[in-house]
Amino acid sequence: MTTPAGIDPRGPRFAATITTVLLLAATFLGLIGISTARSFGWFAYQPLAAAGAASDTWAIVAASPAQRALDPGFLLTVVIALLFFWSVISPATAPWGVVFRRFVRPRLAPPTELEDPRPPRFAQGVGLFVVTIGLALHLIGVPWALPIATAAAFIAAFLNAAFSFCLGCQIYLLLQRAGLLGRTPSAA
């Protein structure tokens, strides 16, 4: 099996920078939204207080599925999950890759080396998995699930954006060494 054509390693880092900003916003919205809100007697999460929800409970537990789905943190995380999904299914047409290739890469010197596209694609899949778990748990009413999932994905994206350390890529390489993913090119 031959190794796929290489990609400019600055492209995934560019995408990670944008993803970091989106995940930071989603984490913030998750922290101030229904996922972490709690009713304490005189204080109640406003949309639920108007609906007569019980006090001294997690707002997300008392919320309807529609209220959970309309939470701003949830909606932004859905967009992020769709972007992760797009990057896994069709990396060549994913928005951040297109922006990088069209507008950023022409202004940079050619890359000194190319990298295997499989680890960054796997990393996008890991991000998709993490935020999807947070979305699912949020929909079924688990407090704190959404901001914890987006914060975990944020940390991974930030490490890539700031330090060029791709956590998902490292997981891919460990799984590859263990023989669980991909194949290492055979020595000729």
92-120 pLDDT per residue, tens: 999 999 999 999 999 999 999 999 999 99
The pLDDT of residue 150 is above 90: yes
Give the pLDDT mean for 126-152.
98
In a domain, 182, yes or no: no
Total domains, the chain: 1
Give the pLDDT mean for 48-56.
56
Q: Is the model more confident about 19 or about 53?
A: 19
In a domain, 151, yes or no: yes
pLDDT of residue 114: 95
Retrieve residue 188's tokens: 């000729």
In a domain, 28, yes or no: yes
The pLDDT of residue 188 is above 50: no
The residue range of the domain holding 155 is 10-177
Q: For residues 149 and 95, give the distance between their C-alpha atoms in angstroms, rounded to a whole number.
A: 23
In a domain, 126, yes or no: yes
Task: Supply the DSSP string of 8-26, one letter for each residue.
Answer: -THHHHHHHHHHHHHHHHH
In a domain, 101, yes or no: yes
In a domain, 188, yes or no: no
Retrieve residue 17's tokens: 């920078």
In a domain, 183, yes or no: no
The pLDDT of residue 4 is above 70: no
The pLDDT of residue 135 is above 90: yes
- 43 confidence band (pLDDT: 50, 70, 90): very low
pLDDT of residue 14: 97
User: Taking all residues of the chain, what is their mean pLDDT, rounded to a whole number?
Assistant: 90
pTM of the model: 0.86
pLDDT of residue 42: 42
171: exposed, middle or buried (Cβ count in 10 Å: 0-12, 13-18, 19+): middle
In a domain, 2, yes or no: no
